[in-house]
Amino acid sequence: MTTTEKPDLSWLDDVTMTELERNPYRTYERLRAEAPLAFVPVLGSYVASTAEVCREVATSPDFEGVITPAGGRTFGHPAIIGVNGDIHADLRSMVEPALQPVEVDRWIDDLVRPIARRYLEQFENDGRAELVSQYCEPVSVRSLGDLLGLQSVDSDKLRDWFAKLNRSFTNAAMTEEGEFANPEGFREGDEAKAEIRAIVDPLIDKWIEEPDDSAISHWLHDGMPPGQTRDREYIYPTIYVYLLGAMQEPGHGMASTLVGLFSRPEQFEQVVDDPVLIPRAISEGMRWTSPIWSATARISTKDVTVAGVDIPAGTPVMLSYGSANHDSGVYEAPSTYDLHRPPLPHLAFGAGSHACAGIYFANHVMRIALEELFEAIPNLERDTGEGVEFWGWGFRGPTSLHVTWEV
């Protein structure tokens, strides 16, 4: 900024959570234009909204990871997204082995393709489907569920859990006094967690005695002295991170990519005809509607100036990657889905030491799911009798996607 004059941001006082969840883009477009780093009262936090400022804060040595208040209330401590130093390093070393590219390459196809086939078989001859609940979400949760060792938990249960954790995690509204404005909003998350514990505790008991190749079993044992396991209280917050974001987002990503493609029928056609274009279509889908729209944050470790704003040590800043990916300084006509736009990196998977650990896995889950979908139903059409609505500020994607085809 070249001027020291502070923009008048009083309009931010009127922004509500409901409005952000319905459509955050209007508010954030104005933030990007007027104050790329601004204090947003309803969130009780500073918010970074442009690509440049999000990247700067996410990767700055003067910031470290912190969980948002509602996130911390939902997940507890130590969740991988909110810790730093040795604990963060330990949790990353715990989750990363199963997600390394060489490792993922070994089994991803055999894991995801049969799952995608199985869900497709249930509706591919019906001529109509609601893809979010019948395909995108089930493929997403089943793939990760099986990887984690949760084969015994059915897909609808996993979907129910992420939906409840999501609403709790993003119950972000704060009062002026810095209290949660809607404490009731955490109840369903608490109920989900109680249910998760009731189901996962016995599995953990078993894995402690009989380790197997499931990811959570590895989390308990890997890197521990013989006879010892990581304490379950220590890993539960990160299990919740998985049961929310990692379960939900590949489904969001697939569905948003499909909606984006449906908005460009000729591009939809190109991608169906040439599956090699699917990864690019997904990448643009992630940019266009970023699944983790604004869910993670960083906190300053000393007094710093960012985007012309002086912020003292210990100030949290929320990273609005979904807004950064609509930065018109980077992308022309950002709200348009365009498979062929000049290919520039996006921030949908975050940046810095807290960047998404599951990128490679997630990209392949989404790719294989769309490959199988287009292979089985190449004549897919959006059911234009039904609208498509997006929901979410913290996490965002279409709530439903009705399609038809000739059988």
Partner 1 sequence: MGFAVTVGGRRVDCAADQSLLDACLRAGLWMPNSCNQGTCGTCKLKVVGGEVDHRDSPFDTLTAEERAAGLALACQARPVSDVEVGGAGDRSTHPLRDLTATVLEVADIARDTRRVLLGLPEPLAFSAGQYVELVVPGSGARRQYSLANTADEDKVLELHVRRVPGGVATDGWLFDGLAVGDVVAATGPLGDFHLPPESDDDGGPMVLVGGGTGLAPLVGIARTALARHPAREVVLYHGVRGAADLYDGDRFAELAEQHPNFRFVPVLSDEPSSEHRSGFPTDAFVDDVPSARGWSGWLCGPPAMVEAGVKAFKRRRMAPRHIHREKFTPADALG
Residues that bind ligand HEM (CB under 6 A): 58, 65, 80-81, 92, 95, 99, 144, 241, 245-246, 249-250, 253, 286, 291-292, 296, 319, 321, 348-352, 354-358, 361-362
Cβ-in-10-Å burial (0-12, 13-18, 19+) of 329 comes to: exposed
Residue from the set 205, 274, 303, 389 that interacts with partner 1 by CB under 8 A: 274
Place of tokens 């984006």: 260
Of the two residues 17 and 254, which places its CB atom closer to ligand HEM in the complex?
A: 254
Of the two residues 14 and 109, which places its CB atom closer to partner 1 in the complex?
A: 109
Of the two residues 71 and 404, which places its CB atom closer to ligand HEM in the complex?
A: 71
Residue range at the interface with partner 1 (CB under 8 A); choices 182-190, 223-231, 300-308, 369-377: 369-377
Residue range at the interface with partner 1 (CB under 8 A); choices 171-179, 197-205, 258-266, 372-380: 372-380
The counts of H helices and E strands in the chain are 17, 12
Of the two residues 323 and 404, which places its CB atom closer to ligand HEM in the complex?
A: 323
Cβ pair 326, 23 in contact under 8 A: no
The full DSSP string for 13-63 is GG--HHHHHH--HHHHHHHHHH-SEEEEGGGTEEEE-SHHHHHHHHH-TTE
Taking the complex as a whole, how short is the minimal distance between the CB of residue 4 and ligand HEM, in angstroms?
Answer: 30
Alpha helices in 183-289 (DSSP H): 187-209, 215-221, 232-241, 247-262, 265-273, 278-288
* Virtual torsion, Cα 319, 165, 234, 232, nearest 10 deg: -160
- Which of the listed partners (partner 1, ligand HEM, none) does 58 bind, with a CB threshold of 5 to 8 Å by partner kind? ligand HEM
Cβ-in-10-Å burial (0-12, 13-18, 19+) of 178 comes to: exposed
| 72 lies in the site for partner 1, by CB under 8 A | no
The type of residue at 303 is: D
x-marked contacts with partner 1 along 86-125 as a string, rule CB under 8 A: ----------x---xxx-----------------------
* Virtual torsion, Cα 46, 48, 54, 58, nearest 10 deg: 10
| 349 lies in the site for partner 1, by CB under 8 A | yes
363's enclosing H/E stretch is: helix 359-376
Interhelix angle 101-123/359-376, nearest 10 degrees: 30
Q: How many Å apart are CA 95 and CA 237, to the nearest integer? A: 13
176's enclosing H/E stretch is: none
Taking the complex as a whole, how short is the minimal distance between the CB of residue 353 and ligand HEM, in angstroms?
Answer: 7
Residue from the set 201, 280, 302, 387 that interacts with partner 1 by CB under 8 A: 280
Residues 326-345 that bind partner 1 (CB under 8 A): 342-345
- Which of the listed partners (partner 1, ligand HEM, none) does 280 bind, with a CB threshold of 5 to 8 Å by partner kind? partner 1
Cβ pair 328, 216 in contact under 8 A: no
Residue from the set 307, 376, 386, 400 that interacts with partner 1 by CB under 8 A: 376
Taking the complex as a whole, how short is the minimal distance between the CB of residue 138 and ligand HEM, in angstroms?
Answer: 15
Chain contacts with partner 1 (rule: CB under 8 A): 96, 100-102, 272-276, 279-280, 283, 342-345, 348-349, 351-352, 355-356, 359-360, 363, 374-379, 406-407
